[in-house]
Amino acid sequence: MFNHIYGLFRLSSSPMALKNNPAVSKYFIALVPLESIQNEILKLKEEIKERYNSQASFNSPGHITLMMPFEFKESKKPNLIYLLDSFVEKQLPFEVKQDGFGSFEPRVIFLNVSADDVLLTMQKKLGFQLKELRIFEKNYKNQAYRPHMTIAFRDLRKPQFYEARAEFENRDFNMTWPAKGLFLLKHDGKRWQIDQEFIFKG
> Which range has the worst mean pLDDT, 5-9, 91-95, 100-104?
5-9
Residue 78 is predicted with a pLDDT of 98
Share of the chain above pLDDT 70, in %: 87
**C-alpha to C-alpha distance for 10 and 2, rounded to whole angstroms:** 6
For residues 124 and 136, what is the distance between their CA atoms, to the nearest angstrom?
11
Handedness of CA 14, 66, 109, 26 (dihedral sign): negative
Side by side, the strands of the sheet bearing 181-187 are 64-73, 24-31, 181-187, 192-199
pLDDT tens figures, 51-60: 999 999 999 9
Contact assessment for residue 17 and residue 74, using Cβ atoms and an 8 Å cutoff: yes
**Checking DSSP bridges between strand 192-199 and strand 94-99, what pairing results, if any?**
unpaired
Position 2 scores a pLDDT of 36
pLDDT at 74: 97
Task: Read off the pTM.
Answer: 0.88
With 0-12 / 13-18 / 19 or more C-beta atoms within 10 angstroms meaning exposed / middle / buried, residue 86 is exposed
**Contact in structure between 193 and 186 (CB atoms under 8 Å):** yes
- 106 upstream amide cis, omega within 30 of 0: yes
CA separation (Å) from 130 to 98, 110, 185? 27, 26, 15
Q: How far apart are CA 142 and CA 35, in angstroms?
A: 33
CATH 3.90.1140.10 given to domain 2-6+25-199: yes
Angle of helix 35-52 versus helix 158-168 axis, rounded to 10: 130
pLDDT tens digits, one per residue of 9-49: 444 434 443 455 669 999 999 999 999 999 999 999 999 99
